[in-house]
Amino acid sequence: MNRLYKLDEWRIIEEGFHPEFNRESESIFSIGNGYMGQRANFEEQYSGDSLTGNYVAGVYYPDKTRVGWWKNGYPEYFAKVLNAPKWIGIDICVNKKPVDLTSAKISFFTRTLNMKEGYLDREFKLSVAGNKTLEFNIRRFLSMPEPDAGIIKYSIRSVDFEGAIDFTVYLDADVRNEDANYGKKFWREVSREISQEHGILIARTLKTDFHVATGMCFNFLKNGKETRVNSNLIDLEKYVGNAFKENIKPGDELSIVKFVSVLSSLNNPKEDLMGDVKKRLREISSKGFEILFSDHIKVWEKIWKTSDIVIESDIAAQQAIRFNIFQLNQTYTGKDERLNIGPKGFTGEKYGGSTYWDTEAFVLPFFLKTADQKVGRNLLLYRYKHLQASIKNAEKLGFKNGAALYPMVTMNGEECHNEWEITFEEIHRNGAIAFAICNYIKHTGDNEYLADYGLEVLIGISRFWSQRATWSENLKKFVILGVTGPNEYENNVSNNWHTNSMASWTMSYTIESLLKVMKELPDKYRDLISKTGFDFSGETSLWQKIIDNLHMPFDEGRKVFLQQDGFLDKELMDAGKIPSGERPINQHWSWDRILRSCFIKQADVLQSLYVFEDKYDTETIRRNFDFYEPMTVHESSLSACIHSIIASRLGYIEKAYELYLRTSRLDLDDYNNEVGDGLHITSMAGTWLAIVEGFGGMRIDEEKVQINPLIPVQWKSYSFHARFRGSLFEVKVTKEEIIINNLSDKCLPMVVYGKEYQIAVSEKKAINHRVTRSCTD
């Protein structure tokens, strides 16, 4: 753990320049708007260690898979979300010497991410020309209401320096991905244009042929007054720029306001990009910095009004949850069903920025409770549109009859993960996608989605499970062999309890859904049966046979579910016995040693107990938590949040708080020594769930909201907003009472500690008694 940043309720603040942690700060201070994102790279040149990154949603490159041993069915490529043409460039020379913070004499430095208003500030002072001082102030934001627009205000003020400053304002498409498998650059220039009024670069990706137009124009101000400059035009392959010089004397301030538009062929016809980007530059620049900034702040004000969590008397916890909420909302806005949420969002290259099961298991519940219904629907439609590709994924592995295996990693529905034990074995992801459909309908009541889209997906997934299960004559049970569960520190195991649980539940829910649609929407049911060639009697009878006879490993002595067959053959020991110098073990141990150990990367059995909590009594959950959590090293970003929620459910409040703080500050304090690669965006949704579903005890059951709040001793109070079927409400929990505020235009039924209340429109209801969550049912 490394607490580098100052604690503040609404800001992330770096005081002093720490080049040894520059990559980490580039990740932490990233900004985005759902359409594109930018790591906190410096505008001016920087020769120190840096991971440059500007990412445009949906634009990717299929980088040929690099493996030593090719297997049939192996993905041919790994989808890389590309480092797109650089738009932030503003190089500075003072008396012909470049400003480069690697070698500059810095007397003051601070970097601030303002989460409340969504912008990045940087301030520093340099000693130049002996002991003369220049002050630099830079503000950058990616507009939320104008998603193609990036705006920078770059100001230099002289304290006591007199001399010449050279500016070069530029765009650069000669960029690379650090994680390229074969060292290739993925962009080719299509066209470019540079003039006194604007600079434009249009580049295309290799293979996928996405075209991205990046356009810039700028205003120059001296002491607050706009001044026209006559710049030298720089016109090079993949590079355009405007270079000019201006004298400065003590007290003067020179400012550049750079307006940028980034358009892609996902949204604009290729042949129109040049004209469209010119038009957008005129529109953006005509509004000016102040209006653009004001409009941007208003959008963030609206977001925070319905998604903020307020924690009283614990600044570390407060800062952390707002950081998580901020990053989630600037990564995905839900406006485009072609887009999804990568594990790193717009903050780094690792994992390709592609879609994983994290979306359905962690991120969807966050947006179901905090955003308009269409946001969750678009996340599901993204998967529906990949159904045919998922059927082809299964066909490559030998499955038939419309069986669908959704990819572990994808950009377009095609599997593109390049680790065999994940690609072929981590099939529990299919269950997460199926459960997401159920979860969406439970939260929204949108049964039409089930008939129009969801049921077709469920049939494909259930067909997969029925073919993946095989009959064991030895056990007289169906078994699922050769899998990897959520705990990726185990590979090629048999009968992973979570995987088998998801398989059984999916087939059962699909049968239930078929009967529901058959009864309520018979015409749509007949159309679906015809489209899928579904044999109700034959297929559902097989599914039911598997459900009734699927092997579920269980230890009679301990009365716990076994993570997989043979788990008890391991040497069982507490993770606390691992020397601190060997943590995280994935950075210190051989893979062989990890696989032979009992140590668990993330919730596995407990993942199912979280998902299907209503099927198990408290003591069953407790026995399994007490058995597995001590062996869990929490080296997945998705681990601590699930354990925190379950700990809250069990009344283990101190454990829940400890795990909440770990998951919420995972990146801010770099628990796993990897934040330089980018943030853990999808796990941030789990942090939110740790408060709302954990401490708040929020569940959706029998078409009602249920809450069973508890409060950590470190907190004086906390409050959160959530949505249910069009209703928005706020819950505040103090040491003495729970206050429910119905912010919607209809009555809200809510169950609190088992007692039902009707919360009237605009009513604030205080439940004036203190209740501690019971440790038993």
Instruction: Please list the active-site residues.
Output: 488
- 192: region left, alpha or beta (phi > 0 left; psi from -120 to 50 alpha): beta
Q: How many CB atoms lie within 10 A of CB 250?
A: 12
CA distances to 239, 402, 466, 651 from 543, rounded to whole Å, are: 59, 15, 6, 37
Contact assessment for residue 80 and residue 180, using Cβ atoms and an 8 Å cutoff: yes
Non-local (6+) Cβ contacts of 64 within 8 A are 76, 77, 181, 182
Non-local (6+) Cβ contacts of 752 within 8 A are 706, 707, 708, 709, 738, 740, 767
- Secondary structure letter of residue 726 according to DSSP: T
Report the C-alpha gap between 270 and 211 in whole angstroms.
6
CA distances to 33, 84, 87, 571 from 142, rounded to whole Å, are: 6, 15, 11, 52
Contact assessment for residue 355 and residue 342, using Cβ atoms and an 8 Å cutoff: yes
CA distances to 483, 628, 649 from 467, rounded to whole Å, are: 14, 30, 36
Report the C-alpha gap between 484 and 494 in whole angstroms.
9
Partners of residue 554 on adjacent β-strands: 561
- Secondary structure letter of residue 86 according to DSSP: B
Q: Containing H/E element for 161?
A: none
The token pair that represents 58 in the structure block: 């949906």
Non-local (6+) Cβ contacts of 569 within 8 A are none
Report the C-alpha gap between 140 and 136 in whole angstroms.
13
CA distances to 74, 368, 408, 547, 681 from 342, rounded to whole Å, are: 22, 18, 12, 33, 7
